[in-house]
A = this chain, B = another copy of it.
């Protein structure tokens, strides 16, 4: 706390003078801040770290606790430090550490958490704060303090505090090139309520901060380095890429099994069954014990699920009820405040994490490690009305603010370690996370139900090393169909029936179409699985927002000037036009969800040529087109030369020793290539080398006919496909 005695706070080369004193003469020497130029040390190829002042022990990456994928990082291009070091400044103040990074006039910033309203962050001010999204920028389920620049680098402020962020706003008196001074009365549209600054400024309310810089050369490369530095992206089990349905809150074992049977009878694929609070005998706060009236024989129930090739996903929130057997063991680690009258264990300490993991392993997962697939970790985000206050005290010495920023991280880490210990992969849901979470196989969700915001959030995950899925809960037939289409092209395909009588088949007029899109999702498993493998091994995000796509030059990021209006727009604020309602899944598949109630939409295609997924016909390239798809279709486009691998129609994901037929679709006029990933799909054996990348190639022969070729890696490892069928979508093979 006492900066003046902490000599490590002043790095070598620091300008230890009063910052204002340097700038201005005659200023009263009241200010006690110290300005310094951070010193950067390389910590991995293309990754640099600066330790500024006296950072707190608990950082986000420490909370996540995962090791960098150094080999993969070493395989990336060499890079030099991407910023002008002397342009980066840290000021150690009494209440905070203020960081300043340069921002060029032609530079735009993305990232800084999974926002639901916008992708582009240039020209905005907000506080990064784990919370339920409710329209306040910065308050989100994943306020990851990582930003990506269109100039091709990334910056992570690794602090478990609420960070105040100014992106291109807040012109400094010391700035070299200040915006012009305009008289508002006569300046008209020359005057701006938000003059552009030359900085990204981030305030850390602590006596120091740890900062990382990630080189490019492209923003996508910078994200890749970030994900690899965090340990690589999550690799879910194959069944985790199937379909999940959640049952109503008070369903019994019988009702839950009947729900599975209803899916099977209707031919709707199903891999995961979500049990909501009612599986426990006390929830909000939780007992972490099966409710014996609704689930009299949990092991028997799980065996039934296993027989049906379905994994249970068990809901909980982490607040421990006084009646829980765990209570006594966790009470010594409880924070000063309760949530829904349950204690809040201090999971920043290893011992309560061990206590909780033991309980989960022994009494829940241990009942049937095949059938218990994972957990839904609820209520680790907000809102402030029910969470512990920031001033809550915890036995570790961390305060409520630090725990709020990291609670989801600690729970994901704890649960992943439980499953790793059993050598079984998991796929779960979590409602709050933060930086360092890339390796965690947990998908974010929330209670928001705004379709457009859902899609923007999915796109924003690509800048944050996290996964997010919209929800389908209820609605009219068309509403549900459009939402199911969207979730099927998000990281987790699910229906959440926890508080409704509505089923996927309630609306007969769309039931078949709902089944069809879930089946398409199921068939696309090889494409999704390879895309996740790219995330894991190469750090490349599963979802890729348009600004990450090379050659994407769209109407993005241009600000419309606003019109002055005395009652509704007194500051004449314009709105930002950007393409935030479409994204790529993997390398070649462009997804442009259609909102309920909407008949047509614009799609902005990047450079090159793009083809309709369903017909193979040319859709366009480097242009914005209008599409009016049938109700049965979510607009999908494939890049020139793209290969899309599919399985046959299946009700659940292939098991670990199951081989299935493969269909490979080729789009466009050019040759194409895909490295298809495979492993056993269920265990961590891939970490011991049990995986394969198989080269799929399509090219024309001398006669102009298309041919496909499968080239296994030299050392043939897991490859679980039987037959291969090639389909040339744009140029069908002539009949023989």
Write the residues of chain A forming the contact surface with B, with a CB cutoff of 8 angstroms: 1-3, 19-20, 23-28, 30-33, 91, 93-96, 98, 123-126, 136, 164, 166, 169-174, 178-186, 191, 193-195, 201, 203, 205-206, 249-250, 277-278, 280-285, 291, 321-323, 331-338, 340-343, 349, 383-386, 388-399, 401, 447, 449, 473-475, 496, 498-500, 564-568, 570-571
Residue pair A183, B568 in contact (C-beta under 8 Å): no
**Would B447 and A570 count as touching, CB distance under 8 A?**
yes
Q: In the bound complex, how far is the Cα of B185 from the Cα of A250, in angstroms?
A: 6
Q: Check B170–A389 contact: CB distance below 8 A.
A: yes
Nearest CB of chain B from residue A247's CB, rounded to whole Å? 12
- Which residues from chain B contact A284 at a C-beta distance below 8 Å? 182-184, 191
Is the CB–CB distance between B567 and A474 below 8 Å?
A: yes
A93-B391 in contact (CB<8A): yes
Q: A166-B389, A195-B340, A284-B182 are in contact. Are A28 and B395 (CB under 8 A)?
A: yes
Separation of A93 and B565 alpha carbons in the complex (Å): 47
Of the candidates B171, B185, B388, the one whose C-beta lies within 8 Å of that of A341 is: B171
- With a 10 A CB-CB cut-off, give which of A349, A385, A475 has the most chain B CB atoms: A385
The 4 closest A-B pairs by CB, nearest first: A30-B397, A98-B391, A499-B566, A184-B284
> Among the interface residues A27, A184, A333, A449, which one has the most CB atoms of the partner chain B within 10 A?
A184
User: Can you report 20 residue pairs joining A to B where beta carbons are below 8 Å apart?
Assistant: A24-B331, A93-B391, A95-B205, A96-B391, A125-B384, A166-B389, A169-B385, A178-B338, A181-B322, A184-B277, A185-B283, A186-B250, A193-B386, A201-B391, A447-B570, A449-B567, A473-B566, A475-B567, A496-B566, A499-B564
Distance (whole angstroms) from the CB of A205 to the closest CB of chain B: 7
Choose among B282, B342, B385 the residue that contacts A124 (Cβ–Cβ < 8 A). B385
Please state if A20 and B395 are interface contacts (CB–CB under 8 Å). Answer: yes
A30 to chain B, nearest CB (A): 3
Q: Is the interface of A mostly helix, strand, loop or mixed?
A: loop
In the complex the two chains form, what is the Cα distance from A666 to B284 in whole Å? 59
How many angstroms from the CA of A190 to the CA of B383 in the assembled complex? 20
CA distance A303 to B210 in the complex (A): 63
Min CB gap A575→B, angstroms: 14
Q: How far is it, in angstroms, between the C-alpha of A135 and the C-alpha of B578 when the chains are bound?
A: 26
The residue of chain B having its C-beta at the shortest distance from the C-beta of A166 within the complex is B389
Q: In the bound complex, do residue A24 and residue B96 qualify as a contact, i.e. CB atoms below 8 Å apart?
A: no
Complex: how many Å from CA A282 to CA B185? Answer: 8
Q: A395–B393 Cα gap in the complex (Å)?
A: 34
Identity of the chain B residue whose Cβ is nearest the Cβ of A183 in the assembled complex = B282
Closest to A332 in B: B26
In this complex, what residue of B is CB-closest to A94? B1
Residue among A3, A334, A393, A447 having the largest count of chain B Cβ atoms under 10 Å: A393
Name the CB-closest residue of B to A499. Answer: B566
Q: Give Cα A349–Cα B323 distance, bound, in whole angstroms.
A: 58
Q: Give min CB distance, A431 to chain B, whole Å.
A: 12
Task: Give every chain B residue within 8 A of A334 (Cβ-Cβ).
Answer: 24, 173
Q: What's the minimum C-beta distance from A23 to chain B, rounded to whole angstroms?
A: 8
A500 to B564, CA, bound (A): 10
A291–B185 CA distance with the chains assembled, in angstroms: 11
CB < 8 Å neighbour of A19 from B24, B164, B336, B568: B336
A141: min CB distance to chain B, Å: 15
Q: Can you name 11 extra interface pairs (CB under 8 A) apart from A31-B396, A179-B341, A499-B566?
A: A24-B395, A28-B395, A28-B397, A31-B394, A94-B399, A98-B389, A125-B384, A181-B321, A194-B385, A203-B389, A474-B566
Q: Are B1 and A183 in contact (CB under 8 A)?
A: no
Contact status B205-A205, CB under 8 Å: yes
| Nearest CB of chain B from residue A219's CB, rounded to whole Å | 25
Q: Which residues of B contact A185 (CB under 8 A)?
A: 249-250, 277-278, 280, 283, 291
- Decide: A393 and B2 in contact? CB cutoff 8 A: no
- Residue of A94, A183, A397, A447 with most chain B CB atoms under a 10 A cut-off: A183
Among B32, B174, B449, B473, point to the contact of A336 (Cβ < 8 A): B174
CB A134 to nearest CB in B, in angstroms, measures 10
In the bound complex, CA of A24 to CA of B284 (Å): 23
Please name all residues of chain B whose beta carbon is closer than 8 Å to the beta carbon of A136 when the two chains form the complex. Answer: 136
CB distance from A293 to the nearest CB of B (A): 9
Complex Cα gap A565–B447 (Å)? 11
Chain B residues near A95 (CB, 8 Å)? 205-206, 399, 401
Separation of A193 and B172 alpha carbons in the complex (Å): 44
Residues of B within 8 A of A27 (CB): 332-333, 395
Question: By the criterion CB–CB under 8 Å, are B338 and A32 in contact?
Answer: no
Whether B499 and A570, one on each chain, are in contact in the complex, defined by CB atoms closer than 8 angstroms, is yes
A397 to B185, CA, bound (A): 35
In the complex, the answer to whether B338 meets A171 with C-beta atoms within 8 Å is: yes
Distance of A404 from chain B, by nearest CB (Å): 12
Given A386-B193, A391-B91; A281-B183 close (CB under 8 Å): yes
Q: In the bound complex, how far is the Cα of B33 from the Cα of A391, in angstroms?
A: 11
Assuming the A-B contacts A19-B336, A499-B566, are A391 and B183 also in contact, with contact meaning beta carbons closer than 8 angstroms in the complex? no
Taking a contact as CB atoms under 8 Å apart, the answer to whether A566 and B500 are in contact is yes
* In the complex with contacts A2-B1, A331-B24, A397-B31, A181-B342 CB distance below 8 A: yes
- Within the complex, what minimum Cβ distance (angstroms) separates A261 from chain B? 23
Give chain B nearest CB distance to A20 CB in angstroms: 6
Q: Closest CB of chain B to A126's CB: distance in Å?
A: 8
**Chain B residues with CB below 8 A from A193, complex form:** 340, 385-386
CB distance from A164 to the nearest CB of B (A): 6
Measured CA separation A439–B323 after assembly (Å): 55
Bound-state CA distance A122–B343 (Å) is 23
Q: How far is the CA of A392 from the CA of B401 in the complex (A)?
A: 23
Query: Are B338 and A172 in contact (CB-based, < 8 A)?
Result: yes
Chain B neighbourhood of A170, CB < 8 A: 337, 388-389, 392
- Max chain B Cβ within 10 angstroms of own Cβ: one of A334, A349, A390: A390
Closest to A384 in B: B125
- How distant is the Cα of A334 from the Cα of B23 in the complex, in angstroms? 11
Known: A125-B384, A178-B338, A386-B194. A395 touches B570 (CB 8 A): no
Min Cβ gap A183→B in Å is 5
Question: Is A285 a contact partner of B566 (Cβ separation < 8 A)?
Answer: no
- A182–B321 Cα gap in the complex (Å)? 9
Known contacts A26-B332, A475-B567, A566-B474: A391-B164 contact under CB 8 Å = yes
Q: A392 — nearest CB in chain B belongs to which residue?
A: B170
